[in-house]
Structure 1
């Protein structure tokens, strides 16, 4: 339901969280490749809020929050390795690669079932299943 709204402004859906402790909170994280602005968040918040009110998907009172994923966010799905190409990344491995448990460099994207990271001028290919966690880094 959200994708057509996001596509109107070339925004990407990054994550959705629904927190039920206390007053429920629905958090929607969006990404604009040209830089996610407050205007982007406000624009999509108004539209999503109206859509959710009409569809009545959440039967209780809740707070809607729309924001960018943050500068040093954790990558949660495989598509994000392509969405965030060109960004600095830190990947913690399950099993060492070239005797290293942590790879830091520039994210080049995903090819087949491997993430490609340029580390110190050399491309490292990391099998998706060997990634314990990956975070964008801000330098």
Structure 2
């Protein structure tokens, strides 16, 4: 059986986004992967964070919706979770959502001679991430195509 994972993810996003938005959550990401069987992972976020109760509530409603729509014609496991405190940022909209937050970025290609930058997200425009370095307040312009990995960092109190 040929499985178009990307098409399933896009269809799930179309169906689930309005539902979770109405419930007060933001759809952070959707993954559909083989992991000892197929797993459909719905990753949520909201201001103040996600609780286990939030995940359970969304899981029940998403499960019912997907049963009716029947877009995955075989057995799979549904997981609903939070992206975690040090969540990985992989899409322009992730960076936009967390504007003003501290992030650690590892680069495929150096920017101003650096392969790692820790700074505050100051925006994303036309595929370029603006980072204000934590220590120097210097603004760096980092092409998203240069980013190998980016994670939110916890602020020190």
> Normalised by the size of structure 1, how large is the TM-score?
0.88
CA offset digits 1:22-50 (Å, max 9, x no partner) = 23221110111332222321221111000
> 2:152 matched to 1:127?
no
Of 89, 95, 107, the residue aligned with 2:103 is 89
Counterparts of 1:122 and 1:44, CA distance in 2: 41
> 2:71 matched to 1:57?
yes
Flag the structure with higher helix content. 2
Of 118, 123, 131, the residue aligned with 1:117 is 131
Counterparts of 1:95 and 1:56, CA distance in 2: 43
Structure 1 residue 77: Cα displacement:
1.1
User: Which runs of 5 or more residues in structure 2 are unaligned?
Assistant: 1-14
Flag the structure with higher strand content. 1
User: Which runs of 5 or more residues in structure 1 are unaligned?
Assistant: none
Of 23, 33, 36, the residue aligned with 2:47 is 33
